[in-house]
Chain A
Amino acid sequence: MNVPTVQVIGIEKSYFRTRALDGVSFDAGAGITGLLGPNGAGKTTLLRMMATVLAPDAGDLRLLGWDPGKADERLAIRRRLGYMPQEPGFHRNFTAFEFVDYVAILKEMVERKARHDEVRRVLALVGLEGVIGRKIKALSGGMRRRVALAQALLGDPDLLVLDEPTAGLDPEQRLRFREIVSERSTDRTVILSTHQTEDVAALCPHVVVMDEGRVLFGGTPRELAEVARGRVWLAAERAPGAHLSWRTGDGDHRNIGQAPGGANLVEPTVEDGYLLLVGHRAFDEEAA
């Protein structure tokens, strides 16, 4: 791990009786850190704290060396932050250009020509140069996500906090997104929350798995996959000892759990490691 730019130390947060975060700790440095977890794991609550829009009940948070708990340091963080909320919200009667321009002004980019150039640059970066004059209410869901990403990229921020940025994007757009984010991650810090294990495997040198407000795992995607080594096997039927099992396209059952002797073990993936950690919850939710 390089020098940490994000330090999360024992963060706690409750909404009445619901404990959203329960002593969460990890460090992140330059590069992309992926936050993986099922719904309700506490990812969004944590990202909102990193975006300085929510204060923790307890614990310490350091962003780019500053404490978001102090007003002046919070301002310094906000000046170097790009944030894409899970549900960003848009001024529907604004054009894509106007909305990003509005955000740019609020990011204190006051010199008009330079600001407009920057707005055009980020909109082109996300592939929206052809629709900059179109009203947001006329854009598709995927295009709106890209508008949200564009505003987060304004000013090339040192810390980029992205909450499920690939939700609603088609495969081509997701590839484009990976390209954009990976280009920015060489000397910048990107914190990315997602359900997509493929995004984590493809993008993130560091991954944190959360569930029920706690960190279950922190390490590289390879290490996450290794969690499931020797515990993933193929069989003709669902194995009795499997935590999780599903029929693949080939007709075999992919089983995850305590493999029986002589099982046809296969190379584990990031998804296998993730499912082994939180799979019971993911499947419970799906069933519900």
Chain B
Amino acid sequence: MLTSARTATREAKQVAIPRAVARPRPAVVAALARLETRKLLTSPAFLTGLGLVGAFVLLATGSAFFASEDGSGNERASVLVLGAAIGLIAATLLGANSCALRAHRDRVRELFGSLPSPPESRTAGLLLALILGPFLLVTAVLAIAYPVLRNNPDLHDHINIALLVQVPLTALALGSFGIALARWIRHPIAGPAALVVHVMTPIIWLVPWVAPASSGIHMGWHYTYLVAAIVFWASLALAGDRRQGRALLVPATVLALVIVSASLQMPPGGLV
């Protein structure tokens, strides 16, 4: 087994594309990000994810809810806005994962390897596209919908800017997660599987992405957690291009902050 591992390593070294420079150029990353934003928001994975989650929300809340006279117009609008936000977050994970897998799937590694920009340029471009695309889109949707949500009597006490800011940050974190996943597990099923696992396991409740102040969560640590998670996944994605132990130093350091902030954000006895 050891021999076969050594052989595999030697083979990988034999066909590895030699690197040219260490760092991507910011102007290249910015130009890539513009193109990637458009491709991400129109990618089949993003649109499918959006559609599926939208359909799921409609089913979960019951079509009768929308047809009956029980739910007020404001309630219906609130459900739609929250459903859209969840849909955008899920679609961001799937879309980012699919876009990050593109070079591997389409076998352009050799061609791109002959170009002066290192692979991290493409990863960084995609990470920046998450900000220019899904992050701004979710922010815009919530900014427009904010009055509707505030006017909903059931939500009025919970909805505030501090809560809504967490939603685009979550989109950014899960989008970065999707890219990191693609860099380390190059399989198209990994993204959808990760989404299902994420939703179906208790982790989403134990360490929530979005929580109102009324839940008792420590807001300062919660924001630290969200930002640290974004940095962790982004740095892990960039480290995936190098596959060197030294490149994992930053994600390993940030992971410590993720764990600490995830623990400290929770109130004693759990969320209300």
Task: Give chain A's interface residues, CB within 8 Å of chain B.
Answer: 15-16, 48, 51-55, 68-69, 71-72, 74-75, 78-79, 81, 83, 85, 87-94, 98, 101-103, 105-108, 110, 112, 115, 148, 151
A83 CA / B114 CA spacing, docked (Å): 7
Q: Given the complex, which residues of A lie within 8 Å of B112, measured CB to CB?
A: 103, 106
Output the least CB separation between A122 and chain B (Å). Answer: 15
Q: Given the complex, which residues of A lie within 8 Å of B25, measured CB to CB?
A: 108, 110
- Which residue, A94, A102, A112, A115, has most C-beta atoms of chain B within 10 A? A102
Please judge, given known A-B contacts A78-B114, A83-B114, A105-B32, whether A53 and B17 are in contact too, CB under 8 Å: yes
Q: Which chain B residues numbered 88 to 107 have a C-beta less than 8 Å away from chain A?
A: 102, 106-107
Q: Is the CB of B116 within 8 A of A78?
A: yes
Q: Is the CB of B116 within 8 A of A107?
A: yes
Task: Give chain B's interface residues, CB within 8 Å of chain A.
Answer: 11, 14-15, 17-21, 25, 27-28, 30-32, 35, 39, 43-44, 102, 106-117, 121-122
- Which residue, B21, B27, B30, B108, has most C-beta atoms of chain A within 10 A? B108
Q: Is the CB of B108 within 8 A of A89?
A: yes
A74 CA / B114 CA spacing, docked (Å): 9
Output the least CB separation between B1 and chain A (Å). Answer: 18
Could you jot down 19 A-B contacts, CB within 8 Å? A51-B113, A52-B18, A52-B113, A53-B113, A68-B18, A69-B18, A78-B116, A79-B116, A89-B107, A89-B108, A92-B106, A93-B43, A94-B39, A101-B35, A105-B32, A106-B116, A108-B28, A110-B27, A112-B31
Closest to A109 in B: B31
A85 CA / B106 CA spacing, docked (Å): 14
A101 CA / B117 CA spacing, docked (Å): 14
Q: Is the CB of A103 within 8 A of B20?
A: no
A29 CA / B28 CA spacing, docked (Å): 32
Q: Is the CB of B31 within 8 A of A110?
A: yes
Q: Given the complex, which residues of B lie within 8 Å of A48, measured CB to CB?
A: 110
Q: Is the CB of B114 within 8 A of A71?
A: no
4 A-B pairs with the lowest CB-CB distances in the bound complex, closest first: A89-B107, A75-B20, A110-B27, A89-B108
A108 CA / B114 CA spacing, docked (Å): 13
Q: Is the CB of A78 within 8 A of B106?
A: no
Output the least CB separation between A210 and chain B (Å). Answer: 20
Output the least CB separation between B237 and chain A (Å). Answer: 18
Q: Given the complex, which residues of A lie within 8 Å of B113, measured CB to CB?
A: 51-53
Closest to A73 in B: B20
Q: Given the complex, which residues of A lie within 8 Å of B107, measured CB to CB?
A: 87, 89
Given contacts A15-B14, A51-B110, A55-B18, 14 further A-B contacts (CB under 8 A): A53-B114, A54-B18, A68-B18, A78-B115, A79-B116, A89-B107, A90-B106, A91-B108, A93-B39, A93-B44, A98-B39, A102-B32, A107-B116, A108-B28
Q: Is the CB of B31 within 8 A of A90?
A: no
Q: Given the complex, which residues of A lie within 8 Å of B15, measured CB to CB?
A: 15, 54
Q: Is the CB of A88 within 8 A of B19?
A: no
Select A88's contact among B28, B35, B108, beta carbons within 8 Å: B108
A257 CA / B32 CA spacing, docked (Å): 57
Output the least CB separation between B20 and chain A (Å). Answer: 4
A76 CA / B181 CA spacing, docked (Å): 32
Q: Given the complex, which residues of A lie within 8 Å of B116, measured CB to CB?
A: 75, 78-79, 106-108
A16 CA / B18 CA spacing, docked (Å): 19
Select A103's contact among B39, B109, B110, B115, beta carbons within 8 Å: B115
Closest to A78 in B: B116
Q: Given the complex, which residues of A lie within 8 Å of B32, measured CB to CB?
A: 102, 105-106
Q: Is the CB of A106 within 8 A of B20?
A: no
Output the least CB separation between A190 and chain B (Å). Answer: 15
- Which residue, B14, B18, B35, has most C-beta atoms of chain A within 10 A? B18
Q: Given the complex, which residues of B lie within 8 Å of A54, measured CB to CB?
A: 15, 17-18
Output the least CB separation between B8 and chain A (Å). Answer: 11
A103 CA / B116 CA spacing, docked (Å): 10
Q: Is the CB of A108 within 8 A of B102?
A: no
